[in-house]
Amino acid sequence: MRYFFRVEYDGSQYGGWQRQPNALSIQEQIEKAFTIALRVPVEVTGAGRTDAGVHARAQGAHVDVPEPLQVARCELSVNALLPPDISIYNLVAVEDSFHARFSALSRRYKYYFCSRKSPLHFKRVWMLYYHIDWNKIEQNLGALTGKHDFSAFCASGCGTDNMICDVKHASLQFENEFIVFTIEADRFIYKMVRTIVGTLIDIGRGKSSASLSDIIRGEDRAKAGATAPPFGLVLDNVFYSGVN
């Protein structure tokens, strides 16, 4: 039987979502907790990979188990076995045809900035100590929406030749000293969001004179900005049809 669930995590201490030989991963921790709780080895499939240091509020994942679960009991047991910086929730049975990655309709990321030093938000936001023209950044956001080739924002080691992504929404919200960049798309390529964020900041601080639309059209990574730090990035939601 297949079960879908959400995952919330602080990625500060992990090498990313995906299981890997040289660093502790979110996937490995969840698989270990399920295996102990159910007393059978399991594999967990996520909606997508997040980089080292990136967080998630509502990552989507599924797990296959041989017998029906007592959902509330299983969720409680798995969370008791997980470290305090990872939790699962909304565990629910789904059809075997459902897939956490391929059934996803879109993904939404949020990137958090702070306009001052904020120790309580260390490793949660990118603290910016220079002047940023946020109006100039907002004026460039319209270039992101729609279906484009995002080659200019793909890091080396991407692992795919398909650079086309359909961005459904991009915006900035201002919450006192905090600024939140939100972007939703059908898919994202390797380090795309962090490179877009780094480029927007370069534009806003006057370090880059190019417009975002020109950079997108140029399809040249060298024309984009530096990759933003991982700790301000949160996988905010993965959207599906029929599951919350």
For the chain, helix (H) and strand (E) counts, in that order, are: 5, 10
Among 91, 59, 66, 64, smallest CA distance to 76 is for 91
Q: Do the strands 126-127 and 106-114 form a parallel or antiparallel pair, or are they unpaired?
A: parallel
Annotated catalytic residue 236? no
Q: Give 11-42 as a DSSP string.
A: GGGSS-SS--SSS--HHHHHHHHHHHHHTS--
Exactly one of 10, 51, 202, 236 is catalytic; which is it?
51
Distance CA 178, CA 56 (A): 18
What single-letter amino acid sits at 221? R
Distance CA 45, CA 65 (A): 13
Distance CA 17, CA 192 (A): 16
Strand partners, 126: 113
Catalytic residues, which ones? 51
